[in-house]
Structure 1
Amino acid sequence: MFAKADRRVVSWIAIVFATAILAWPPIPVAAQTKQQMDIIVRLRKLSLPSGRYMGTSTNEYYVREMSCYILGKLLGQSKSSAHLDPSLLDDDGSEQPSSLSENWAFNLDRLSNESEDRWVKEWNLDCAGQYGIPQRAAIKEASLDAFYDIREDGTVIYILGHVTEGFHSRLLSVLDANPAVDTVALGSGGGLVWEAMEAGKEIRKRGLSTRLWNDCYSACPLVFIAGKTREIWSPYPRLGFHQISFPGLGVTASDEMYKKEIYKKIAEYAEGMGVNSEALVNFMLQAQPSDFYYPDLETVCDAKLATWVQRQLLANC
C-alpha cells in the first residue's frame, strides 16, 4: 500500500519537475551598453553585395545567420560568429538576392530596440550550437524567466525564454490584462513539462492560436500544440524534441515507473489538442536530454503539430 502510494507520489513529482536541462556550461558576459550601440552604428555602414530580385522567397535569406553575426558582435562573441559575416557571401562569385541588404537592415533595427537580456536569450536559443557556432559559446542568462511582449495592436503576445516555474501563472496574468490577445507567439529552449501543459490548457480554453516566431525546444512544443490554429512562418523556426529528464537523466517509455504517468499524461494532453500523440511521444524518445530531434516540416504537419506553414505546399498543413 505505502510502496504503491510512494511510487505515485514520486511519479507526480517527476511530472511537475521534469525539465530540459542543457548540459553545456554557459559563460558570463559583461554589460557594455554604449559600446554595443556604437557597434550597431558601425554595422549599419557595412557594405553588402548587391544582386537581383529573386522573389519573396528570399525575404528570409541569411536572416538567422545575420542575427547571430550581429549578436556575436554585441555580446563579445565575435570570434565564434566571424564566419557568418554577410560581406563575405560573394566570395564564391555567386549572385546574391537583392533582399540581402534589406534583411541586414531589418535585423539591425530589430536588435537595436531590444535589451541585452533579450540578446542573450536569442543568442543561446538560435545561435550557440548552430551555424558553426560552438555550444560552449552559450552565455549565462541573468534570469531564466521568459519575456512576455504584447505586439500587433495588442493581439499577439510574444514569449521568449524558458518555461520555468510560474510560467503558466505569469501567462495567465498577461492574458487577463490583455483581453484582445488572440495569438501566442513562441520562442523557447524549453523547461518544465507540467508548466507547459498547464499553459497549453489555458491557451486552448481561451481559443487562442499559436505561432512560432523563434525556435521552440523541449517543453515548448507542448505549449505550441495547444493553439486552435498553429502557424509556422518563414524562416521556419524549428521544433526540437528530446526525452524528459529527471533529474538530468533521460526517461524512456520502457521505464515502468514513469511510463504510465509522464508519457501517458503527455499523450492524453496531445490527444486533447488534436495532435497525433503517438508521433509526438516518438519524437521525444528520439534524442537524449542533451540533444534534440528536429522533425522536418512535412513530418510536423503529418503529426498535426502545425496547421499551416508559410509558402509550403504540404498535404496536412
Structure 2
Amino acid sequence: MTTSPLPGPLVDDTWLAARLDDPRLVVLDATVLLPSPRHDGDHRSASGREGWLRRHLPGSRHADLTGDFSDRDAPCHFTVPGPQALARALARVGVGEGSAVVAYDTGGGIWAARLWWMLRAISVPVAVLDGGLAAWESAGRPLASGDDPAPVPEVTPVAPVPRPELWTDVHEVGAISRGEQPGTLVCALPAAGFDGSVPTRYSRRGHIPGSRSLPGRELLDAEGRVLPAAELAARVGAGLDAADTPVVLYCGGGVSAAGVALALTLLGREDVSLYDGSLEEWSKDPARPLELGGAARPRPEQGD
C-alpha cells in the first residue's frame, strides 16, 4: 500500500508549493457559486468551473460539486454520490489508486471541506488547503488560467472503502431531536440563519429543535484560515465538550457543516457525522418541526 504524502487533514500553501510536482498529489478546485438568498426559497447555485478557468493553482483541476460530484437524481442539491459513482468522478479528474487529493476553493473553505468529507467517507487520502486560493495568491505564488494542455491521465479508479458512520440520515436526526437517541445536533449556519431572522434558500426558516449553534465562519480568521489550535479549541469548547457525543452536524445543504467537521477533526474528535440532506431535506416535510429564535451560541453563558 502506498503511503499518503499528506501530513493531516489541513495543509498550508508553503507545504503545497514544495510538492506541486509530486505525481501522487492531485489538486482539485471545488468552488461552487452560491449567492445569498433574496427571499425564502431562492436557491441559486452554479458551477465554479468558469472561475477556475480564469485563475487557478498550476496543475489543478476542477471538481464540479454541482455536476459529477453530486447525485443529480437526488431531491436535494449537492447530495453525495454513491461510492462507485464518486470513484468514477474522481477518475475523470485524474484521481485513482495511489492518489492523494488537496482540495481548495475561493469560497472560504466550505466547498473544499465538503469535498474533503466526501472523499474521507470513501477512504481516499485528502486534505484541505488552508485559506484556499486567497492564501496561495497572497503569498505571491503563481496562478494559471485556461484548460491544462495536457490531457487528464488515465488512472485505475479508486476502490472505495465506505465509512457509513460519517453520515447521519433524517430518521436518526429526528430521533436525536426528540431525545429518543443519544447525540448532539449542531447547526453550522450563521446566527441569523439559525434563528430565522434572514431569508433561507429552503421552504421554511429556523433550526431543528434541540440544536446548538456553531457558525462555521466563526472558526476561521480574517484571512479565511482555520483558527490557531488553541483559539479554535476555545471557540468550540465554549459550547461543545467531550460529553456532547456523538456530534451530528448540519446546515442548509451539508456544506458549511463540512467546514465545522474539519475543525472538529483537527481538534481530534472522531465522534462526528454529517447530515447530508440538512435543512433542505428537513424543511420539505411540514411535519418536521423547525424552531425560530434561540441563542447564537450553544451555551451562551460560556460564550466568547
Query: Considering the TM-score relative to the shorter chain, is it more than 0.5?
Result: no
| Greater relative contact order (CA < 8 Å, ≥ 6 in sequence) | 2
Normalized per residue, the structure richer in helix is: 1
TM-score, structure 1 normalization: 0.27
Larger radius of gyration between Structure 1 and Structure 2: 1
TM-score, structure 2 normalization: 0.28
